Structure 1
Amino acid sequence: MTHSPLQDRTVVITGAARGLGAALAHELARRGARLALLGHEGPRLDAVAASLPTAALAVEVDVTDPRGLQDAAGEIRGRLGRPSAVVANAGIAEGGPFATSDPVSWGRVIEVNLTGSAHTARVFLPDLRATAGYFLQVASLASIGATPMMSAYCASKAGVEAFAHSLQAEVAHEGVAVGVAYPAWADTDMIRDAEGFAALHELRVHMPPGVRTIHPADVAAVRLARALERRSTAVYVPAWLRLLQPLRWALPPVVARLARRDLPRWDAGRPLRATGRLGAGGQADRAATAPDDGRPG
């Protein structure tokens, strides 16, 4: 491919062991970037790093651990050089009614998705100031329109969108660009696991045509890679999702009306139930935090 502005630049990706993070790592390696892959799953991170054609460093770290992130940042600077771009992609999800949700597990979604993104930005901002770099916050379609049964995920993704917009205004004068990514449904472990729960499957298939389509992770990765090259303020996957932004004020009453009518029958007449942390990444997070939340992994 033609020369990329990311060639020979260091890019950090959190949540890089699988799914969208791993797909983005492969796409950026094709463009000649040096990759620092961060996440919970050390062996999987090592495997992704070994499969890339460019220099890559795998660092096992929890994005909710500021000290661990500081140590990771020091290792990245020493081995790959200061990052020119950072992608805050790490995220987990769980579904189920809010009223019966486990407060610890609900809070963990907020901690990883929102607080973990903020910790990531805080640790790497000195590097991005030095390189006039770019911070890409991976939000979600859920940032634009919240849905029932996903209260923690939707709250966290709305939060990271607001956080990124605030940060964008703070650091623009320092030469640091900040962007927000709005991927819809991508073919990842998390989504495949969610499809096994009737209510979450029905939530997706009752969305308008186009919005409900599950896209391959590598297709989303191409869009995110281009956003990194262009230092985009916003990137949508698929691109036409940007048309929802002016209409987002109208989405809550529409969703509430549909849910009032359809939600009782979306789990085949059974009581709506909690999913637990979705996907292999969610299970890895639960295993890593089991000593703290008092539950087995």
Structure 2
Amino acid sequence: MAEQETATAPEPAKAEEPPVIKVEGLVNKFGDFAVHDGLDLEVRRGEIIGVVGGSGTGKSVLMRSIIGLQYPTAGHIEVLGRTITGVDLDQKIGVRRRWGVLFQGGALFSTLTVGENVEVPIKQFYPEIEEGLRKEIARYKVLLSGLPEEAIAKYPSELSGGMKKRAGLARALALDPELLFLDEPTAGLDPIGAAKFDRQTRELKETLGLTVFLITHDLDTLYEICDRVAVLADKQVIAVGTIPELLETKHPWIEEYFNGPRGRGARNTHNLKTLSASEQVW
């Protein structure tokens, strides 16, 4: 008698992980002028998403809306499973501990040293931590940002532009965030400094398991470290995807941005690096 084959039940499909950031129907108006009108965006856990767009498309306004510094005219925003829109500050405190922000230029407090700047969010959210431990945490974050230890005692006026960025990064990492917001982090840096910052961002993302929301104009940054790119135009996010996917999108701004002289240059440089890396493997 032939043995019966035992049918194997198919494994149930895994539920898709909810987005870390979910923006629906966002409207931001200043007077009669609408910066965003019905903007939608989802950010996946563990990705570096680059946000690009022409001047005045509201990239920083979008970030400020997500972190609760800008009150939208309409729309719904969730971050790390918590609603941000339409709730008071006390309700946002819990989720604010779980993200870090690097603003343009670093936004450091000029009267505080680098170490003291890093201590600010620790004091704010964890006032029970004693001073010695707080200073040790600040020291570790400064070193993690790539600054030398002696920078801890320096004031912002004593730092170069690149060092200010790293000091701002150290402060953004102070609370061991799950989510990191970077607003034009390589703006004003020389090409070598910008490339180092890009590499460090990727390393921090992989080491710490971060999700990174990155506003940038830097095409090299997009090619080097971004998993996906969101394009703002016409008061909305008009496209989200990998760069090869965006290159297939027939929108005038996208075509000009990625296929202009600088876009072609960044793509060629990236392709050469990829080719060189594959040759080394072989």
TM over 0.5: no
TM-score, length of structure 1 as denominator length: 0.32
TM-score, length of structure 2 as denominator length: 0.33
Q: Identify, as 1 or 2, the structure richer in helix.
A: 1
Q: Identify, as 1 or 2, the structure richer in strand.
A: 2
| Larger gyration radius, structure 1 or structure 2 | 2
